[in-house]
Every structure is written in structure tokens, then in C-alpha cells.
Amino acid sequence: MSSLRVLPLGPPGAGKGTQSRRIAEAYDINHISTGDMLRANKDMETDHGTPGEYMDAGELVPDPVMKAVVEEALSDLDGYVLDGYPRTLEQAEHLESVTDLDAIIYLTVDREELIRRLSGRRVDPETGQNYHVEFDMPDDPAVRERLVQRTDDEPDRVETRLEEYATKTRPVIEHYTDHEAFVEIDGNQSPDEVWEDIDAVLRDVGE
């Protein structure tokens, strides 16, 4: 297990989840995904209602809930890739108070491409594996049959998520641009090409 701390940033649909899984595997670090953690705890009662109420609407879960979730997840961890946090300036300040970062990787993707990726995404409810109706369908007909669309990938929710990103998360990117560990990578490329760019950056950081 390495002690590398990696923060992927970018809009919904940029490929943070896909790339985070590869980073975690290649660099032997933990993959912390706030989206996955929240999906597993959608009905958890908090002072602000349940996470599911916000997620199904495509809105951000309130900061106090997120801070508690992330603080708990990061406690006692050595290396990690933190996928999905921070999404507000308040969360960014919180993260800075609890940890340092070795690499901040900002994936840029055009708006039409984001919409195409999110609206075509399908999930296998049994394995959690993501597919895409246009360019990545499973070979197994049984798996094809059981694929579902995430509620928040439906068109009006996609619109809301991109708006939430533009108003609340864009300032987080601005906040990190001057950080010495910040790098920007073209996320419009294929997953393998994006991975090559990320791997080159992280190999450098590790040296």
C-alpha cells in the first residue's frame, strides 16, 4: 500500500470514477468514492434528511453531511484516490484542514460529450459495473438484460447536476489551479489515453 494522495476533479461524466478505479489498482491505494458511499447509504437519516432525497433530484448533498462522511472514510487511511469530494468551496476548505494532496488531476470534457456519456450510461445492479449504450455494452445477454439507468442520469437530472457543478463546483477548480500539485488533462480522449496521461503524471509524483 502506497501513501500517495490523489484528487481527481472534473464535472459529472468526466471519467473520475473510471480513472479512479485504475489509479487505485495501479498505485495500490484506496478508492474512496463519495457517490458510491452515498448510494450505499441512500436512506440514512441525517439532520438534513436522507442523501437519497438530494441525489435522486441531481442536487448536492449538504456540506455538513458530506464532511462527516469523508472525515470518517479518510480516518486511518494512508494512500487514497478521493473521487467526488470536494464539490463546494466549504468542502475544499474542510479537506485542506484534514489532509495534504500529492496530485490534483483536473479532467476537462466538453459539455455535449458529458451529456452523451451521462445519458447513455447504464449500470449492472449486481456488480456496479458501468456500461454505455453506444460504445460499451456487455457481451453477455443476461447482463445486457438487467442493466438499469441511474435515476440521476435521466435528462432533467443531468441538467440539474451540470448546473450544480457550474455554480458550486467550478469555484473549487479555480481554488486549486494555483496549487503546485494541480495538473489539467484532456478528458475528451478515450479512457486508455486519459489513463496514459494520468499515469505519466503520477509516476513523476512518486519519484
Residues near ligand AMP (CB under 6 A) are 12, 34-35, 38, 54-55, 58-61, 66, 84-85, 87, 91, 152, 161
Q: Residue 147 or residue 205: which is nearer to ligand AMP going by CB?
A: 147
For the record, the C-alpha cell of 59 comes out as 442536487
Of 103, 144, 104, 141, give the one whose Cα is nearest residue 122. Answer: 144
Q: Is 42 a catalytic residue?
A: no
Closest CB to ligand AMP belongs to which residue?
35
The phi-psi region of residue 58 (left if phi > 0; otherwise alpha if psi is between -120 and 50; otherwise beta) is left
**Which one of 21, 39, 116, 150 is the catalytic residue?**
150
CA–CA dist 91, 138 (Å, integer): 36
- Nearest approach in angstroms of CB 142 to ligand AMP is 25
Q: Residue 1 or residue 40: which is nearer to ligand AMP going by CB?
A: 40
Contacts of 72 (CB under 8 A, 6+ apart): none
Q: Is 87 a catalytic residue?
A: yes
Beta strands 80-83 and 103-108 are unpaired
Q: What is the DSSP letter of 61?
A: P
Q: Is 150 a catalytic residue?
A: yes
- Nearest approach in angstroms of CB 188 to ligand AMP is 18
Q: Is 111 a catalytic residue?
A: no
Of 76, 95, 75, give the one whose Cα is nearest residue 84. Answer: 95
Q: Residue 19 or residue 91: which is nearer to ligand AMP going by CB?
A: 91
Grid-cell match 468551496, residue found: 89
**Which one of 117, 122, 161, 168 is the catalytic residue?**
161
- Nearest approach in angstroms of CB 94 to ligand AMP is 10
Q: Is 16 a catalytic residue?
A: yes
3 state SS of 49: strand
Q: Residue 122 or residue 161: which is nearer to ligand AMP going by CB?
A: 161
- Nearest approach in angstroms of CB 37 to ligand AMP is 8
- Nearest approach in angstroms of CB 203 to ligand AMP is 26
Contacts of 190 (CB under 8 A, 6+ apart): none
**Which one of 5, 87, 117, 157 is the catalytic residue?**
87
Beta strands 30-33 and 80-83 are parallel
Q: Residue 85 or residue 195: which is nearer to ligand AMP going by CB?
A: 85
- Tell me which residues are annotated as active site: 16, 87, 121, 150, 161
